[in-house]
Amino acid sequence: MAAMVRDFDWQRPASFLQVAMAAAFKPKQFFSQMDNRGDLITPFVFLVLVHLFPTVAALITGVSLQAAGMGMLVRLLTDLIFIGLVYTVGHHLMRSPLNMGGFFRICAYALGIKLVAVMLPFLGGYQAALMLLVYLYVMLLLFFGLRYAAGLSFLMAVGCVMISVVGITLLMSLWGSFTVQQAPPA
């Protein structure tokens, strides 16, 4: 039996799918032995790739380059804000000794399941249901990551996930409440 991959290596692109699959389908094993070396570029490249593939799929289905690119940037920014929330809650509130790079890795690899979004442009009316399931699964993967890689207890891992989800939901609600006012046509 082959050893489980420990980390994504952006210089070895084949490791991308290996990490995404290991985190998604064997989360306890993967996060228990995950490499927490702490750099930020590795999980950032992984997260960009997670968002790049669905963007390419959207372009194939006829979405404009500008709309697809803007959508990717908004999703990436939202995920980065969420990762910042998880780090803040996990490191400062729950007192995990793991550094920002370790939390970034946990979150990025948990978000790897969002590769399923590649199928969204082809699903029609089932897009919202699939994404709801994906986000619920991301929360479960995040729990495993916080529990086994960050060393949080069961309750602290659940609390970190819930506080972070509520925080990003409130921030997105606040962000969505702002409207752009346009001047009336002359």
Give the start-to-end residue ranges of the domains of the chain: 14-172
DSSP structure class, residue 62: T
| Cβ atoms within 10 Å of 170's Cβ, excluding its own | 10
Q: What is the mean pLDDT of the chain?
A: 89
User: Which residue type occupies 21?
Assistant: M
66-101 confidence digits (pLDDT tens): 999 999 999 999 999 999 999 999 999 999 999 999
pTM, rounded to two decimals:
0.88
